[in-house]
Amino acid sequence: MKRGKINFRLLVITDRKLAKDSLEKIIGNCVKSGVKAIQLREKDLPSNELLRLTRKLRKTVKGNLIINDRLDIALLSNANGVHSPEKGIDAEYIKRYNKNFQAGKSVHSIKQAVNAEKVGFDYILFGPVFRTPAKVKYGSPQGLEKLKKVCNSVNIPVFAVGGIIPMRVRKCINVGAHGVAVIGAVMKSNNVKKTIGVFKDELGVL
């Protein structure tokens, strides 16, 4: 597998609407617990507020700070990359203005996964693997069998997303996932440090 620059196994995706505490605090605790990658995903924030929040988090996040969908915000906040949603921009553009940017892509099928690799994305998020309230609108979960097929179809790291809780991590890794991406499990946690600790136990490394 081409791991490239992808030096993380756990990707924490933000959602301040689910968050039990301020995002700064939650992210701060993630970083202190050893999390190496944060994806900032606050789709409904106006651009100026998103930029302010990103710059604030940049001071906390020493590892990978990936910005969902917004190349402009990523360029202005000294982030490490951009995550392209299903209807987002191509990897070519993400790398055109900063060749060191990591480019992630959300995919929901094998075909999309193969294409994401072909057009130069560094890693993909595939899901929802399990049932999750956040993704009910996308229909039934895709399941582990499909995740396995996706992992077998590409050479770039695949992160399982959707309904990821610690007890499901090994199931994903066992079918070939490089790592997992979590939203609710961390955002809604009453004890972020402990939650990250449990993920670390399951993944081996963060």
Partner 1 sequence: MKRIGRLCVITDTMIQNKYSHREIAKMAIKGGANIIQLRDKNMPTGELLETAIEIKKLCSKKRVLFIVNDRIDVALISNSDGVHLGKDDIPIKDARKILGNNKIIGGTAHSLKEAVQREKEGADYIGFGHIYPTYSKLKKGNPKGINYLKRIVRKVKIPVFAIGGINHSNIKEVINSGVHGVAVIGAVIKNNNPVIAAKGLRKVIYD
List interacting residues with partner 1 (CB under 8 A): 46-49, 51, 69-73, 75-76, 84-85, 87-90, 93, 96-97
Q: Which two tokens stand for residue 29?
A: 């605790």
CB of 11 to partner 1, least distance (A): 20
Cβ atoms within 10 Å of 150's Cβ, excluding its own? 27
d(CA 113, CA 100): 22
CB of 161 to partner 1, least distance (A): 18
Question: Token pair 């597998």 is at which residue?
Answer: 1
Instruction: Please state the separation of Cα 29 from the chain's center in Å.
Output: 17
CB of 61 to partner 1, least distance (A): 20
3-state secondary structure of 160: strand
Cis upstream peptide for 133 (omega within 30°): no
- CB-nearer residue toward partner 1: 15 or 69: 69
- CB-nearer residue toward partner 1: 71 or 103: 71
CB of 69 to partner 1, least distance (A): 5
